[in-house]
Homo-oligomer: A and B are copies of this chain.
Amino acid sequence: MATKRKVGNLLALAVLSYLTQRPMHPYELSRTLRDNDDARSIRYNHGSLYMVVGQLAKAGFIAAQETNREGQRPERTVYALTDAGRAELRDWLRELVGAPQHEYPQFVAALSLIGALPPSEVLALLARRLDLLADTRDEIRRLIDDGLAQGVPELFLVEEQYRLALLDAEVSFVESFRARITDPATGWGRMWAEFHHEPAPEPEGHPT
């Protein structure tokens, strides 16, 4: 599983991937990650990068190639991918692509406890969520369009298209969820509201 890897942080995957192109020193990796906007897909922390590089070196996936220094700056160690590192990269990617991992999105946790909020409030919050989801959607769309306009191959934007697909699914779900709360036929609204000692929620635009 995911935890069996010697280095489990996904940042390490990106490091391995960039080192296939050429040896680099940590700061160069950091800049490359920033320039390619990888922080959108992989949790990035300046501090974690140095840690991850150290772990990869200890595990034998990368090896220090040379150490040089300019002026009074701290020295920079250039790392190169080893054969073991190349194998790890492939194996890890295979696992991630070939088998879905169980994950814990925050919204799932919230939904599982949603009963703790009264339905009237939940309706308002979901409306707000829909607005924000629409904003995010526009942003991703723009990111993709800009990329395409600048000649980025569509293959390198595929993760954004995936994000978009999930986003659309979430929007549909939230809309249908709202509808089911207000639909008197489901009986949800009444039961839920009674539990919170408030009147049953009304459909949109028909407040009591």
- Whether A113 contacts B100 by the Cβ 8 Å rule is no
The answer to the question of A148 belonging to the interface, with a C-beta cut-off of 8 Å to chain B, is no
CA of A42 to CA of B170 in the docked complex: distance in angstroms? Answer: 19
What is the oligomeric copy number? 2
Asked whether A153 lies within 8 Å of B191 as measured between CB atoms, the reply is yes
Find chain B residues with CB under 8 A from A42 CB: 104, 109, 112
Q: A132-B99, A188-B155 are in contact. Are A20 and B116 (CB under 8 A)?
A: yes
> Contact between A166 and B170 (Cβ–Cβ < 8 Å)?
yes
The interface stretch among A22-30, A63-71, A89-97 is A89-97
Docked CA distance A125–B92 (Å) = 12
Closest Cβ–Cβ distance, residue A132 to chain B (whole Å): 6
Residues of A74-90 at the interface with B, using a CB-CB cut-off of 8 Å, are 89-90
Q: Shortest beta-carbon distance, A21 to chain B, in Å?
A: 10
One of A9-17, A53-61, A199-207 contacting the partner? A9-17
Query: What does the 1/0 interface line of A121-163 toward B look like (CB < 8 Å)?
Result: 1101110110011001000000000000000011110110111
CA of A117 to CA of B95, assembled, Å: 12
The interface size of chain A toward B, counting residues with CB under 8 Å, comes to 66
A186 at the interface (CB under 8 A from B): yes
Interface string of A105-122 (1 = CB under 8 A from B): 111111111111100011
- Knowing that A17-B116, A100-B136 touch, tell me 12 more A-B residue pairs with CB under 8 angstroms: A42-B104, A90-B117, A93-B116, A93-B117, A94-B121, A97-B126, A97-B129, A98-B125, A99-B129, A101-B107, A108-B162, A111-B162
Q: Which 4 A-B pairs have the closest CB atoms?
A: A169-B169, A96-B110, A111-B159, A98-B125
Some 24 contacts from A to B, beta carbons below 8 A apart, are: A2-B106, A10-B104, A17-B113, A17-B116, A41-B111, A41-B112, A93-B117, A97-B107, A97-B110, A97-B117, A97-B122, A100-B129, A100-B133, A101-B107, A108-B163, A111-B162, A112-B156, A114-B158, A115-B156, A153-B188, A153-B191, A155-B188, A162-B170, A165-B170
